[in-house]
Structure 1
Amino acid sequence: MGYLTTHVLDSAHGVPGNEIEIRLYQIGEQRSLLKTVTTNDDGRVDAPLLEKDEFRKGVYELQFAVSDYYRRLGVELPEPAFLGDVVIRFGIADEAEHYHVPLLISPYSYSTYRGS
């Protein structure tokens, strides 16, 4: 069975993005919140976001609370922040594969890719 993981890297400071709240949604006829987690000191989540019977084909969203993280670090941001929450919508097509969705952030930019 496949599974879903993520991690956050703060490219502005060259460190893992720790204590960032992440919300996972399933996208269908309605947008359904599946879980809310927080990254650890390594910028990762302690367990897969989806695995076993929960890991199914479909469209999902990860929502990362980026401005909260930078404000907690003392970074001066405008109000509203340029990046408040970063939302990544992606599809899971193969239930046997590992889907890893990393996020690289700064106060004014982000990037992602399908990792391994």
Structure 2
Amino acid sequence: MLASFFAGAADGDAVKNPLSVHVLNLQTGTPTAGIAVDLEQKQENGWVKLASGTTDDNGRIGALFPAGKILSHGDYKVVFQTGNYYQKIKQPTFFPEIPVIFHVEKDGDHYHIPLLLSPYGYSTYRGN
């Protein structure tokens, strides 16, 4: 039975894709749908946009890294467009966007970046 669980899990985009994000609303204790998220990579001439997505009903983007490419050693930035989200729900916020810069040490690893969000504060960490 465990073998079938792992075989099924290997078929999902989140398993194949090296980068996922998750946004939870600390004010309501619920997932935050509808947040636009950009992924950028630091290169010689500055930050270069690689991909974009929007959190689903569970507050997740399971596959943020471009398909068919390898997440390689270097610095990356995930930018959560929180100002647009709060404007849509007609609530003020202190943070119009939240950039999270992280370093990829080892090619082939999976990186999960959760964001715990409220209008006037946030927290993030490396998830699994």
1:90 to 102, 109, 115: 102
Partner of 1:61: 77
After the TM superposition, list the runs of 4 or more consecutive aligned residues in structure 1 that deviate by more than 4 angstroms: none
For residue 54 of structure 1, report the CA deviation from its aligned partner: 2.8
Instruction: Give the structure with higher Rg (CA).
Output: 2
- Structure showing greater relative contact order (alpha-carbon pairs closer than 8 Å, 6 or more residues apart): 1
Decide which structure has greater strand share.
1
Kindly tell me: are residues 35 and 2 of structure 1, through their superposed partners in 2, closer, same or farther at Cα, counting changes over 3 Å?
closer
1:18 to 33, 36, 44: 33
| Cα offsets for 1:25-55 (capped at 9, x unmatched) | 0012221000111110000014242565331
The whole-number CA distance in structure 1 between the counterparts of 2:81 and 2:106 is 28
Kindly tell me: are residues 86 and 94 of structure 1, through their superposed partners in 2, closer, same or farther at Cα, counting changes over 3 Å?
same
User: Gapped runs of 5+ residues in structure 1?
Assistant: none
Task: Kindly tell me the number of residue pairs found equivalent between the two proteins.
Answer: 112
2:58 to 11, 18, 42: 42
Decide which structure has greater helix share.
2
TM-score using structure 1 length = 0.87
CA RMSD in angstroms comes to 1.8
